[in-house]
Protein backbone atom coordinates (compact mmCIF):
# COMPACT_ATOMS: atom_id res chain seq x y z
CA UNK A 1 0.00 0.00 0.00
CA UNK A 2 1.34 3.43 -0.86
CA UNK A 3 2.34 5.65 2.03
CA UNK A 4 0.35 8.79 2.76
CA UNK A 5 2.03 11.67 0.95
CA UNK A 6 2.49 13.65 4.16
CA UNK A 7 4.50 11.04 6.11
CA UNK A 8 6.53 8.68 3.91
CA UNK A 9 9.70 7.08 5.17
CA UNK A 10 12.90 8.59 3.81
CA UNK A 11 16.17 7.28 2.51
CA UNK A 12 18.98 8.79 0.47
CA UNK A 13 18.02 9.63 -3.10
CA UNK A 14 21.37 8.21 -4.32
CA UNK A 15 24.73 7.18 -2.92
CA UNK A 16 26.39 10.16 -1.28
CA UNK A 17 29.82 11.51 -2.04
CA UNK A 18 32.56 9.75 -0.12
CA UNK A 19 33.96 11.75 2.79
CA UNK A 20 37.27 11.20 4.55
CA UNK A 21 38.40 12.26 7.96
CA UNK A 22 40.27 11.24 11.07
CA UNK A 23 38.73 9.14 13.82
CA UNK A 24 38.59 11.11 17.07
CA UNK A 25 39.62 8.15 19.20
CA UNK A 26 41.45 5.82 16.80
CA UNK A 27 43.45 8.54 15.05
CA UNK A 28 43.03 6.65 11.76
CA UNK A 29 42.01 8.24 8.47
CA UNK A 30 38.66 6.70 7.53
CA UNK A 31 36.23 7.20 4.67
CA UNK A 32 32.50 6.66 4.50
CA UNK A 33 29.54 7.24 2.28
CA UNK A 34 25.80 6.90 2.77
CA UNK A 35 23.72 4.57 0.62
CA UNK A 36 19.96 4.23 0.07
CA UNK A 37 18.25 1.41 1.95
CA UNK A 38 14.83 -0.27 1.55
CA UNK A 39 11.77 0.79 3.55
CA UNK A 40 11.59 -0.55 7.12
CA UNK A 41 15.25 -1.62 7.06
CA UNK A 42 16.49 1.06 9.46
CA UNK A 43 20.10 2.18 9.73
CA UNK A 44 22.94 -0.28 9.29
CA UNK A 45 26.70 -0.16 8.81
CA UNK A 46 28.50 -1.95 5.99
CA UNK A 47 31.96 -2.39 7.52
CA UNK A 48 34.91 -3.47 5.39
CA UNK A 49 38.42 -3.08 6.78
CA UNK A 50 41.51 -5.10 7.70
CA UNK A 51 40.28 -8.09 5.73
CA UNK A 52 37.01 -8.23 7.64
CA UNK A 53 33.50 -7.48 6.50
CA UNK A 54 30.26 -7.23 8.46
CA UNK A 55 26.80 -5.72 8.29
CA UNK A 56 26.10 -4.15 11.68
CA UNK A 57 22.52 -3.21 12.47
CA UNK A 58 22.43 0.01 14.46
CA UNK A 59 20.41 -0.88 17.55
CA UNK A 60 20.63 -0.74 21.33
CA UNK A 61 21.24 -4.49 21.37
CA UNK A 62 24.43 -4.02 19.34
CA UNK A 63 25.88 -1.22 21.49
CA UNK A 64 29.03 -2.64 23.11
CA UNK A 65 30.84 0.42 24.47
CA UNK A 66 29.86 3.93 25.59
CA UNK A 67 33.16 5.29 26.91
CA UNK A 68 33.33 8.78 25.37
CA UNK A 69 31.49 7.55 22.26
CA UNK A 70 28.77 5.11 21.23
CA UNK A 71 30.11 1.92 19.65
CA UNK A 72 28.16 -0.85 17.91
CA UNK A 73 29.45 -4.28 16.92
CA UNK A 74 28.49 -7.53 15.18
CA UNK A 75 30.36 -10.55 13.81
CA UNK A 76 33.64 -9.52 15.40
CA UNK A 77 33.65 -6.02 13.87
CA UNK A 78 32.88 -2.75 15.59
CA UNK A 79 32.36 0.89 14.66
CA UNK A 80 32.65 3.71 17.19
CA UNK A 81 31.55 7.34 17.42
CA UNK A 82 28.28 6.88 15.54
CA UNK A 83 26.34 9.50 17.52
CA UNK A 84 26.90 12.62 15.39
CA UNK A 85 25.99 10.84 12.17
CA UNK A 86 22.90 9.32 13.82
CA UNK A 87 21.89 12.78 15.03
CA UNK A 88 22.20 14.10 11.47
CA UNK A 89 20.04 11.25 10.12
CA UNK A 90 17.46 11.92 12.83
CA UNK A 91 17.36 15.68 12.24
CA UNK A 92 16.94 15.16 8.48
CA UNK A 93 14.23 12.54 9.02
CA UNK A 94 16.14 9.70 7.34
CA UNK A 95 14.60 6.37 8.38
CA UNK A 96 16.63 3.95 6.26
CA UNK A 97 20.29 4.15 5.27
CA UNK A 98 23.45 2.11 4.93
CA UNK A 99 26.67 3.63 6.26
CA UNK A 100 29.51 2.24 4.16
CA UNK A 101 32.76 2.60 6.10
CA UNK A 102 36.37 1.36 5.83
CA UNK A 103 37.52 1.75 9.40
CA UNK A 104 36.60 1.28 13.06
CA UNK A 105 35.11 4.70 13.67
CA UNK A 106 32.93 7.32 12.02
CA UNK A 107 35.23 10.25 11.13
CA UNK A 108 34.88 13.11 13.59
CA UNK A 109 34.99 15.74 10.81
CA UNK A 110 34.84 19.14 12.61
CA UNK A 111 33.49 17.65 15.84
CA UNK A 112 29.84 18.41 15.08
CA UNK A 113 26.96 16.97 13.06
CA UNK A 114 26.96 19.81 10.54
CA UNK A 115 29.16 18.10 7.90
CA UNK A 116 26.87 15.06 7.92
CA UNK A 117 23.71 17.16 7.63
CA UNK A 118 25.25 18.94 4.65
CA UNK A 119 26.21 15.57 3.13
CA UNK A 120 22.62 14.32 3.46
CA UNK A 121 21.06 17.52 2.15
CA UNK A 122 23.46 17.77 -0.78
CA UNK A 123 22.79 14.14 -1.71
CA UNK A 124 19.04 14.60 -1.45
CA UNK A 125 16.46 12.30 0.08
CA UNK A 126 13.74 10.18 -1.48
CA UNK A 127 10.24 9.42 -0.24
CA UNK A 128 9.59 5.70 0.11
CA UNK A 129 6.49 3.56 -0.29
CA UNK A 130 6.04 2.99 3.44
CA UNK A 131 4.73 5.14 6.24
CA UNK A 132 7.12 6.75 8.72
CA UNK A 133 6.91 5.30 12.23
CA UNK A 134 7.66 6.77 15.64
CA UNK A 135 8.22 5.43 19.15
CA UNK A 136 5.72 7.09 21.47
CA UNK A 137 6.53 6.95 25.17
CA UNK A 138 3.43 6.19 27.27
CA UNK A 139 4.92 5.90 30.79
CA UNK A 140 7.80 7.71 32.45
CA UNK A 141 11.18 6.00 32.27
CA UNK A 142 14.04 7.25 34.46
CA UNK A 143 17.65 6.19 35.03
CA UNK A 144 20.67 7.49 36.89
CA UNK A 145 24.35 6.85 36.43
CA UNK A 146 25.51 3.98 38.66
CA UNK A 147 28.53 5.96 39.89
CA UNK A 148 26.95 9.42 40.17
CA UNK A 149 23.28 9.89 41.16
CA UNK A 150 23.43 13.54 40.09
CA UNK A 151 23.71 12.34 36.50
CA UNK A 152 20.21 11.27 35.50
CA UNK A 153 17.85 11.17 32.55
CA UNK A 154 14.18 10.47 31.96
CA UNK A 155 11.63 10.15 29.19
CA UNK A 156 8.12 11.39 29.90
CA UNK A 157 4.97 11.03 27.80
CA UNK A 158 4.40 14.15 25.70
CA UNK A 159 2.44 15.34 22.70
CA UNK A 160 5.64 16.24 20.84
CA UNK A 161 9.33 15.41 20.82
CA UNK A 162 11.39 17.72 23.01
CA UNK A 163 14.79 17.81 24.68
CA UNK A 164 15.89 19.53 27.89
CA UNK A 165 19.54 19.16 28.93
CA UNK A 166 21.39 20.70 31.87
CA UNK A 167 25.13 20.48 32.46
CA UNK A 168 27.11 21.56 35.51
CA UNK A 169 30.84 21.82 34.94
CA UNK A 170 33.08 23.68 37.38
CA UNK A 171 35.36 24.69 34.52
CA UNK A 172 35.32 28.52 34.42
CA UNK A 173 34.94 28.73 30.64
CA UNK A 174 31.92 26.42 30.61
CA UNK A 175 30.41 28.00 33.73
CA UNK A 176 30.37 31.38 31.97
CA UNK A 177 28.25 29.92 29.17
CA UNK A 178 24.62 28.88 29.22
CA UNK A 179 24.46 25.42 30.81
CA UNK A 180 20.84 24.55 30.04
CA UNK A 181 19.12 24.11 26.68
CA UNK A 182 15.48 23.20 26.07
CA UNK A 183 14.52 22.47 22.48
CA UNK A 184 11.27 21.46 20.83
CA UNK A 185 11.82 19.03 17.94
CA UNK A 186 9.19 20.70 15.78
CA UNK A 187 11.13 21.47 12.61
CA UNK A 188 14.30 20.00 11.15
CA UNK A 189 15.71 23.39 10.18
CA UNK A 190 15.23 24.83 13.67
CA UNK A 191 16.84 21.84 15.39
CA UNK A 192 19.77 21.94 12.99
CA UNK A 193 20.24 25.66 13.61
CA UNK A 194 20.22 25.13 17.37
CA UNK A 195 22.62 22.22 17.77
CA UNK A 196 24.11 20.88 14.52
CA UNK A 197 27.24 23.05 14.57
CA UNK A 198 28.04 22.45 18.26
CA UNK A 199 31.38 20.66 18.62
CA UNK A 200 32.57 17.99 21.01
CA UNK A 201 34.77 19.21 23.84
CA UNK A 202 37.44 17.95 26.18
CA UNK A 203 39.98 18.96 28.80
CA UNK A 204 43.77 19.03 28.67
CA UNK A 205 43.94 17.46 32.15
CA UNK A 206 42.17 14.36 30.82
CA UNK A 207 44.82 13.53 28.22
CA UNK A 208 46.52 10.85 30.35
CA UNK A 209 43.17 9.12 30.97
CA UNK A 210 42.35 9.26 27.27
CA UNK A 211 45.68 7.78 26.22
CA UNK A 212 45.41 5.03 28.85
CA UNK A 213 42.10 3.95 27.30
CA UNK A 214 43.21 4.47 23.66
CA UNK A 215 40.90 7.45 23.29
CA UNK A 216 41.39 10.88 21.78
CA UNK A 217 44.26 9.77 19.52
CA UNK A 218 42.85 11.84 16.65
CA UNK A 219 41.68 14.81 18.69
CA UNK A 220 42.88 18.29 17.75
CA UNK A 221 41.81 21.91 17.79
CA UNK A 222 40.37 21.28 14.31
CA UNK A 223 37.77 18.80 15.58
CA UNK A 224 37.14 19.59 19.25
CA UNK A 225 36.87 22.41 21.74
CA UNK A 226 39.80 22.04 24.12
CA UNK A 227 39.81 23.58 27.59
CA UNK A 228 42.93 24.21 29.66
CA UNK A 229 42.35 25.66 33.10
CA UNK A 230 40.82 29.09 32.67
CA UNK A 231 40.97 29.28 28.89
CA UNK A 232 39.67 27.83 25.67
CA UNK A 233 42.57 26.91 23.38
CA UNK A 234 40.63 27.23 20.11
CA UNK A 235 41.76 30.46 18.48
CA UNK A 236 38.39 31.36 16.99
CA UNK A 237 36.44 30.68 20.17
CA UNK A 238 32.92 29.30 20.42
CA UNK A 239 30.48 29.07 17.52
CA UNK A 240 27.60 29.86 19.88
CA UNK A 241 27.35 30.89 23.53
CA UNK A 242 25.73 27.60 24.56
CA UNK A 243 27.96 25.35 22.43
CA UNK A 244 28.86 23.00 25.30
CA UNK A 245 25.31 22.15 26.35
CA UNK A 246 24.14 22.21 22.72
CA UNK A 247 26.64 19.47 21.93
CA UNK A 248 25.39 17.36 24.84
CA UNK A 249 21.86 17.71 23.46
CA UNK A 250 23.10 16.79 19.99
CA UNK A 251 24.72 13.65 21.41
CA UNK A 252 21.44 12.75 23.12
CA UNK A 253 19.53 13.05 19.85
CA UNK A 254 22.00 10.69 18.18
CA UNK A 255 22.15 8.21 21.05
CA UNK A 256 18.35 8.04 21.26
CA UNK A 257 18.07 7.44 17.49
CA UNK A 258 19.91 4.15 17.82
CA UNK A 259 16.67 2.29 17.00
CA UNK A 260 16.13 4.43 13.89
CA UNK A 261 12.91 6.07 15.07
CA UNK A 262 12.33 9.44 16.67
CA UNK A 263 10.99 9.30 20.22
CA UNK A 264 7.76 11.19 20.79
CA UNK A 265 8.58 12.06 24.37
CA UNK A 266 10.00 14.72 26.64
CA UNK A 267 13.68 13.87 27.17
CA UNK A 268 15.12 15.52 30.29
CA UNK A 269 18.65 15.00 31.53
CA UNK A 270 21.23 16.36 33.94
CA UNK A 271 24.87 15.83 32.93
CA UNK A 272 24.07 13.20 30.29
CA UNK A 273 26.64 11.13 28.47
CA UNK A 274 26.65 8.19 26.09
CA UNK A 275 26.48 5.67 28.93
CA UNK A 276 23.48 7.36 30.53
CA UNK A 277 21.66 7.67 27.20
CA UNK A 278 22.28 3.99 26.47
CA UNK A 279 20.97 2.99 29.91
CA UNK A 280 17.86 5.06 29.23
CA UNK A 281 17.22 3.35 25.90
CA UNK A 282 17.78 -0.10 27.41
CA UNK A 283 15.36 0.68 30.23
CA UNK A 284 12.76 1.91 27.74
CA UNK A 285 13.04 -1.18 25.55
CA UNK A 286 12.85 -3.43 28.62
CA UNK A 287 9.50 -1.89 29.50
CA UNK A 288 7.05 -2.75 26.70
CA UNK A 289 4.26 -1.20 28.78
CA UNK A 290 6.02 2.19 28.55
CA UNK A 291 6.08 2.71 24.79
CA UNK A 292 4.41 1.88 21.52
CA UNK A 293 5.56 2.00 17.93
CA UNK A 294 3.00 3.95 15.92
CA UNK A 295 2.62 4.95 12.26
CA UNK A 296 2.77 8.66 11.60
CA UNK A 297 -0.89 8.88 10.58
CA UNK A 298 -1.95 7.51 13.97
CA UNK A 299 0.54 9.60 15.93
CA UNK A 300 -0.58 12.77 14.15
CA UNK A 301 -4.09 12.47 15.60
CA UNK A 302 -2.95 13.60 19.04
CA UNK A 303 0.73 14.53 18.66
CA UNK A 304 2.62 17.30 16.92
CA UNK A 305 4.98 15.65 14.46
CA UNK A 306 8.11 17.41 13.19
CA UNK A 307 8.46 19.10 9.83
CA UNK A 308 11.50 17.35 8.40
CA UNK A 309 11.82 19.78 5.50
CA UNK A 310 12.22 19.21 1.76
CA UNK A 311 13.50 16.02 0.16
CA UNK A 312 15.60 17.53 -2.59
CA UNK A 313 19.17 18.75 -2.64
CA UNK A 314 19.90 21.90 -0.67
Q: Which residues form the catalytic set?
A: 274
Q: Are the C-beta atoms of residues 166 and 191 closer than 8 Å to each other?
A: no
Q: How far apart are CA 153 and CA 252, in angstroms?
A: 10
- Which residues 6+ apart lie within 8 Å of 95 measured at CB? 9, 10, 11, 39, 42, 128, 132, 133, 260, 261
- Distances from the Cα of 90 to the Cαs of 87, 223, 277, in angstroms? 5, 22, 16
Any binding-site annotation on 236?
no
What pairs with residue 180 in β-bridges?
166
Any binding-site annotation on 251?
yes
Any binding-site annotation on 84?
yes
- Distances from the Cα of 36 to the Cαs of 125, 184, 290, in angstroms? 9, 28, 32
> To the nearest 10°, the Cα dihedral for 134, 104, 110, 113?
0
Residue spans of alpha helices (H) in 186-307:
188-195, 207-212, 243-255, 274-285, 296-299
Helix, coil or strand: residue 223: coil
Identify the helix (H) or strand (E) that includes residue 88: helix 83-92
Q: State the binding site.
A: 84, 247, 251
Q: State the binding site for Zn(2+).
A: 84, 247, 251
Amino acid sequence: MSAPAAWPQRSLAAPSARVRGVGLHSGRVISLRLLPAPPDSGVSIDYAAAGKRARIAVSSANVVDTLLATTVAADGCQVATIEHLLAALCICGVDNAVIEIDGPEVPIMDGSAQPFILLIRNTGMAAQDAEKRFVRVTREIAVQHPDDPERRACLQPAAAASWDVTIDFADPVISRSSQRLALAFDASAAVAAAVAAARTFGFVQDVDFLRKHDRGLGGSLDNALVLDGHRLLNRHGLRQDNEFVAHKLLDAIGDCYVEGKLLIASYQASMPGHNLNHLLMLELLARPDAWEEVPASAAARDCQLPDFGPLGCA
